Amino acid sequence: MFAGTLNQKGSFTMKAEKVGSETLLAGIIKTVQEAQGSKAPVQKLADKMAGIFVPIVIGIAVVTFMVWFIVGEGENSFTHALLAMITVLVIACPCALGLATPTAIMVGIGKGAEKGILIRDAESLEFAKKTQVLILDKTGTITMGKPRVTDVYWKENVDNKPLLEGIILTAERKSGHPLAEAVVQYYKERNVNEVPLDDFESQTGKGVKALYNGNTYYLGSRNFVKNDIKAELSSEMERISNQFSSEAKTLIYLVQNKDVLALIAVADEVKQGSYEAIQKIKDLGIDIYMLTGDTAQTAEAIANKTGIEKYKAEVLPSDKANFVNELKKQGKVVAMAGDGVNDAEALAFADVSIAMAQGSDIAMDVAKITLMSSDLRLIPESFKLSKFTVNTIRQNLFWAFIYNLIGIPLAAGVLYPVNGFLLSPMLAGLAMALSSVSVVLNSLRLKTVRL
């Protein structure tokens, strides 16, 4: 039993099997805390290299001292050796190496926040550029998520429509599904009165069942009506159903016992910018799939409007997570974007999870990236930000290593036998400081990039 569950009938005894730190909420809080202290994988590599770098530099400094002490010129050999050793230690300070990743990550996450892209941890920022497949939920992600009833088609010679409309209103009000809210709004505007149902049952991802005055009523998807209830559609109802589906409308069927009485068409507009965003994602070489619980015809209509070639229709919430896992087993790096409770499981399994801020709390809790404006055009910008940030990290690490590869031999005095040049500790300190400054300045360039 989940928090927020509404008990519609009877009574029961509940036993809490998990409390305190074992609950789902506590687990989510723990996950967030761990994410905040996380490091990007490349940072862990830099840390390992720094761990090897320090003892090597100390070793080079000791060898430098010994060489110049032995081969140095008379009474100045000790001073010469000591200065060379100190210069090696000063110039080789691994500050630039240590700053290379965190400075780029901080600027990258800040740049994302400016654009309305909230990134939860460094790993997701680094990993997003590797995305090969993007899965998009339809309702609320590609579409506005604000459905409205456009048509209601009744079977011929249906009696007592006001009573049936009251049953629809009452059952859908108890449902809580986004499409149900549109139906409730539609009938409230027409001053339809609710009916006291004898029983009510909601079946997730399918529809609802209600009992009234000895009759069983069902409201739900075509799949629910044909496969679960085994109700048959008349040829006229089939024709109207196909017509509405081809117009990208989602259909809710009203069934009394096994007789289909009415068809409610609900439309949800495609978000402005969805087509443009999908084209930009394709330009990045990423495959796109759309998953929806709607019929194949409705899914095809939305896919055609947005330029999506691959889609799966009549998908249940658990099917989304299974599809993510199927792609991952094929070795794909999978990103998932969704906004609802039914997307949370798939978001949890995805390598890169993206939630819309106007969506459900659980989707945002699970997702590693949250888009504050729910504009799909922020998704390709997220991928580009990841690419720019990782490239900046690599540049920082490259310059940090090149600086040390050039600086350490100079500090050790390799040019002294040739032209008498010996780097002083003061110049070495300046060079070390400038290397750190150069890494920070290179990271700050991220603020100027166009996404």
The DSSP bridge pattern shows strands 352-356 and 369-371 to be parallel
Cα–Cα distance for residue pair 363/446, rounded to 1 Å: 29
* pLDDT at site 25: 62
* pLDDT at site 152: 93
Tell me the two tokens of residue 185. Answer: 């709004």
Cα–Cα distance for residue pair 256/225, rounded to 1 Å: 11
E-strand spans in 58-206?
Answer: 117-119, 133-137, 148-154, 199-203
Write phi, then psi, for 424 (nearest 5 degrees).
-85, 155
* pLDDT at site 263: 93
CB 183 within 8 A of CB 149: yes
Q: Report, as residue numbers or ranges, the catalytic residues.
A: 137
Tell me the two tokens of residue 211. Answer: 């009992």
Distances in Å between the Cα of 320 and the Cα atoms of 137, 209, 249, 296 are 9, 24, 21, 16
Strand partners, 216: 211
Strand partners, 203: 207
Cα–Cα distance for residue pair 294/298, rounded to 1 Å: 6
Each residue's pLDDT tens digit in the chain (451 positions)?
777 777 766 778 888 888 888 876 675 456 444 543 556 677 777 777 778 888 888 999 999 999 888 887 767 788 888 988 998 888 887 788 888 888 888 888 888 888 888 888 888 888 899 999 999 998 888 988 788 999 999 988 888 889 999 999 999 988 867 788 889 999 999 998 999 999 988 887 788 999 999 999 999 988 888 888 888 888 888 899 989 888 888 899 999 988 999 999 998 888 888 999 999 999 999 999 999 888 888 889 899 989 999 999 988 877 888 999 999 999 999 999 988 777 888 888 899 999 987 777 777 788 889 888 888 999 999 999 999 999 999 899 888 888 888 888 888 888 888 887 878 888 888 888 888 899 999 999 999 998 8
